[in-house]
């Protein structure tokens, strides 16, 4: 079973502040200006409100528009740019932002299909990956970062989040190594008890 590289990175509808924050969720990464960081962004998507969607449409003339989809003129890195979708799901209009690689002409359509498939599921559920990505997206920059010299050499550069122990001690832990109970504790209450989604 292979997980799709197209991934939901935030649960719920992002407001304007959260939307702008998530446009560069990887801003703190080490060696930010070295190498190609396209793989960090390619395939990320999240839901936004109609006002946020319309605001982004009005900022600059789009690179292109195709019915319910438009692309931002400015590229984030390489051939990766913001794509905004207006999709009808379960009879209502919803709006989404995603990062597509325009070097792949089919990338916007693949993302659109993945969003519709994910959001059309009859039962609200989250995969472990979605839970972890939501934690990363919603954690303030002061409480997340990247493993540094305090971590073994093989773990350096991996994402970390601050954990609070019962003794009120604080320490950082690798995001991908959080136990299920730790993930649950870091999620907002309304997301803690959703069933696990089975990856397609």
Tens of each residue's pLDDT in the chain, 200 residues:
233 489 999 988 999 999 999 898 887 887 766 766 778 889 999 999 999 999 999 988 888 898 889 999 888 888 899 999 999 988 889 999 999 999 898 999 999 999 999 998 766 778 888 888 888 888 888 888 888 888 888 888 888 888 876 665 568 888 888 888 888 888 877 776 666 665 44
Instruction: Give the pLDDT of residue 199.
Output: 47
Instruction: Give the pLDDT of residue 53.
Output: 95
Backbone angles phi, psi at 93, to 5 degrees: -75, 130
Instruction: Give the pLDDT of residue 179.
Output: 86
For residues 24 and 200, what is the distance between their CA atoms, to the nearest angstrom? 28
CA-based radius of gyration for the chain: 17
Angle at 134 between CA 34 and CA 151, to 5 degrees: 50
Instruction: Give the pLDDT of residue 200.
Output: 43
Contacts of 23 (CB under 8 A, 6+ apart): 76, 82, 97
Give the bridge partners for 93, in sequence order.
88
Q: Tell me the domain boundaries of the chain.
A: 7-119, 128-192
For residues 144 and 133, what is the distance between their CA atoms, to the nearest angstrom? 12
């Amino acid at each position: 079973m292979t997980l799709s590289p197209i991934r939901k990175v935030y649960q719920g509808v992002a407001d304007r502040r959260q939307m702008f924050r998530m446009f560069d969720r990887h801003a703190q990464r080490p060696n930010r200006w070295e190498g190609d960081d396209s793989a960090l962004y390619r395939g990320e998507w999240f839901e936004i409100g109609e006002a946020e969607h319309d605001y982004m449409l009005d900022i600059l003339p789009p690179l292109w528009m195709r019915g319910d989809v438009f692309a931002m003129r400015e590229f984030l890195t390489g051939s990766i740019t913001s794509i905004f979708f207006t999709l009808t799901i379960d009879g209502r209009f919803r709006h989404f932002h995603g990062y597509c690689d325009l070097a792949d002409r089919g990338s916007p359509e693949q993302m659109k299909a993945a969003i519709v498939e994910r959001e059309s599921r009859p039962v609200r559920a989250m995969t472990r990956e979605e839970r972890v990505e939501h934690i990363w997206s919603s954690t303030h920059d002061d409480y997340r970062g990247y493993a540094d010299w305090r971590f073994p050499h093989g773990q350096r550069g991996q994402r970390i989040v601050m954990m609070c122990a019962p003794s009120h001690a604080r320490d950082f832990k690798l995001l991908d190594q959080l136990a299920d109970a730790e993930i649950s504790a870091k999620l907002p209450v309304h997301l803690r008890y959703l069933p696990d989604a089975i990856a397609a």
